[in-house]
């Protein structure tokens, strides 16, 4: 990922062309080199000048336009790309590619291409469901094309259904994942279980106990593991965060809910990263009616919630088990105690009293301690960077294990 990657963006004619313009902007901002090809139909929606300004490069739209005499433009563009993205991909362009028709700059270039190709379909819901379109997509998958499925939602034609092109953020994530996956083959096919966020323990229908966890650290870990090619299940307590690209998400509320879902997935898991802030106690008796205000003092009886991490350690077979410990004092001592008592392979400890390391922030710093005594400090960084370093450090634990 250190060397600039070259993206050939092929834009065909549909209302989603405006999203392709937004994608071009995001790609250049994220240090990709972008070259844009357009069909004449695409130019009915957005002009080449827009893409030229956003990509900072010449936009090719005519097979017979040869601006460099020493090169054949469509062959040069095909050879230049590290990755090709068709967005939007209309029913028309899918049909041409599936049947070997090359009659414009986009399809001619794609016929000459040997780079991997990502396709983002965009069309009316009934067009998308048409047997011919489905057949063409199946054919292209057999050719090696990879599809980024369209979203369900309101379409420009007024219908609601599947056919809306994936959002630029999702397309960017898919592109990022393509290159990250190439660099981390050890993670391909690994089954990773991540927990994130707080739990909520009910007192009555109105009130509950919870904590300040935002889930950002666990979500960052899940996103990075998925980007590396792992099959990721994210079990999340209540949080407003969006589901990371390529991650299967299961939402839970209480510690008991999380316990059940984690144990349901655990037998088929290679790696567990337990980043959730699970409540240690819950009200002994949650009532079904709202508790009315009465005396100046109210006493609640609390009982322990199930210790998910400890139970995983007791049942561990070939799984790699990594825990988190958020501490405000005697940080290393408490972390080491948790590492050994819960039979973990490693523990990530963070000092929540330090500036930039508390709950709900965008940064973190962790001390990673392994069962064999090895210690690694990941310095204060954005949580996505911390997640990347964390997975780099635990990668040797999963090599040769599991699927």
Name the residue among 231, 180, 208 with its Cα closest to residue 286. Answer: 208
Q: Which of 157, 241, 286, 357 is catalytic?
A: 157
Mean pLDDT of 348-371: 85
Domain for residue 111, yes or no? yes
Q: Are residues 208 and 232 located together in one domain of the fold?
A: yes
Domain for residue 88, yes or no? yes
Average pLDDT, the chain: 92
Tell me the pLDDT tens digit for each residue of 296-339. 888 889 999 999 999 999 999 999 999 998 888 887 888 889 99
Q: Are residues 34 and 58 located together in one domain of the fold?
A: yes
Tell me the pLDDT tens digit for each residue of 204-257. 899 999 988 999 999 999 999 999 999 999 999 999 999 998 999 999 999 999
| pLDDT value for 257 | 96
- Residue 282 has phi, psi (to 5 degrees) of -140, 160
**168 labelled binding-site residue:** no
How confident is residue 402, by pLDDT bands cut at 50, 70 and 90? very low
Predicted model pTM: 0.84
**143 labelled binding-site residue:** no
Is pLDDT above 70 for 186? yes
Is pLDDT above 70 for 358? no
Distance CA 217, CA 362 (A): 8
Q: Please, is 182 exposed, middle or buried when counting C-beta atoms within 10 Å of its C-beta (0-12, 13-18, 19+)?
A: middle
Q: Which two tokens stand for residue 156?
A: 């420009």
Domain for residue 389, yes or no? yes
Q: Please say which residue of 130, 150, 177 terminates a domain.
A: 177
Q: Please say which residue of 137, 153, 177 terminates a domain.
A: 177
Q: Please say which residue of 157, 177, 197 terminates a domain.
A: 177
For residue 117, the domain's CATH number is 3.40.50.1950
The dihedral of CA 183, 184, 186, 191: what is its sign?
negative
How confident is residue 400, by pLDDT bands cut at 50, 70 and 90? low
Q: Are residues 213 and 154 located together in one domain of the fold?
A: no
Contact present, 106 and 89 (Cβ < 8 Å): no
Contact present, 236 and 249 (Cβ < 8 Å): yes
| pLDDT value for 159 | 84
Q: Are residues 121 and 239 located together in one domain of the fold?
A: no
157 is catalytic: yes
Is pLDDT above 70 for 121? yes
Tell me the pLDDT tens digit for each residue of 125-158. 999 999 999 999 999 999 999 999 999 888 888 8
| pLDDT value for 161 | 87
Q: Which two tokens stand for residue 237?
A: 């307590």
**312 labelled binding-site residue:** no
**244 labelled binding-site residue:** no
Tell me the pLDDT tens digit for each residue of 246-296. 999 999 999 999 999 999 999 999 999 999 999 999 999 888 889 888 878
Tally of domains in the chain = 2
Q: Are residues 76 and 157 located together in one domain of the fold?
A: yes
Q: Are residues 173 and 201 located together in one domain of the fold?
A: no
- Residue 204 has phi, psi (to 5 degrees) of -150, -175
Containing structural domain, residue 74: 6-177
| pLDDT value for 289 | 87
Distance CA 166, CA 183 (A): 25
**148 labelled binding-site residue:** no
For 381: left if phi > 0, alpha if psi spans -120 to 50, otherwise beta; the answer is beta
Q: Are residues 289 and 245 located together in one domain of the fold?
A: yes
For residue 299, the domain's CATH number is 3.40.50.10300
Is pLDDT above 80 for 189? yes
**296 labelled binding-site residue:** no
**Highest averaged pLDDT of the listed ranges 89-103, 177-191, 361-375:** 89-103
């Amino acid at each position: 990922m250190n060397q600039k990657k070259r993206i050939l963006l092929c834009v065909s004619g549909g209302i989603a062309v405006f999203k392709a313009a937004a994608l071009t902007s995001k790609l250049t901002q994220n240090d990709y080199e972008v070259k844009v090809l357009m069909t004449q139909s695409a130019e009915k929606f957005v002009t080449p000048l827009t893409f030229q300004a956003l990509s900072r490069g010449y936009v090719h739209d005519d097979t017979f336009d040869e601006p460099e005499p020493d090169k054949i433009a469509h062959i040069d563009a095909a050879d230049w790309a590290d990755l090709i993205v068709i967005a939007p991909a209309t029913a028309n362009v899918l049909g041409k590619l599936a049947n070997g028709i090359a009659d414009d700059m986009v399809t001619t270039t794609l016929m000459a291409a040997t780079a991997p190709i990502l396709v983002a379909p965009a069309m009316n819901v009934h067009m998308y469901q048409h047997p011919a379109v489905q057949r063409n997509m199946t054919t292209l998958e057999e050719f090696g094309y990879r599809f980024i499925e369209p979203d369900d939602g309101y379409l420009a034609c007024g219908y609601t259904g599947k056919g809306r092109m994936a959002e630029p953020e999702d397309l960017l994530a898919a592109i990022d994942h393509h290159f990250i996956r190439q660099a981390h083959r050890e993670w391909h096919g690994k089954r990773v279980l991540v927990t994130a966020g707080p739990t909520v323990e009910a007192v009555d229908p109105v009130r509950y106990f919870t904590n300040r966890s935002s889930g950002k650290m666990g979500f960052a870990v899940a996103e990075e593991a998925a980007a590396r090619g792992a099959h990721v299940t994210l079990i999340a307590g209540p949080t407003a965060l969006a589901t990371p690209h390529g991650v299967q998400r299961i939402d839970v509320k209480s510690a008991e809910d999380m316990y059940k879902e984690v144990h349901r997935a655990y037998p088929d898991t290679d790696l567990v990263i337990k980043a959730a802030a699970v409540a240690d106690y819950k009200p002994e008796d949650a009532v079904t009616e709202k508790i009315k205000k009465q005396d100046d003092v109210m006493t609640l009886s609390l009982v322990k919630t199930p210790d998910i991490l400890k139970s995983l350690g007791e049942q561990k077979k070939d799984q790699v088990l990594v825990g988190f410990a958020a501490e405000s004092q005697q940080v290393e001592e408490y972390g080491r105690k948790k590492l050994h008592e819960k039979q973990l392979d490693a523990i990530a400890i963070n000092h929540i009293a330090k500036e930039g390391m508390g709950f709900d922030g965008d940064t973190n710093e962790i001390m990673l301690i392994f069962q064999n005594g090895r210690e690694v400090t990941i310095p204060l960084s954005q949580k996505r960077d911390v997640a990347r370093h964390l997975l780099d450090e635990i990668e040797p634990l999963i090599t040769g294990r599991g699927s």
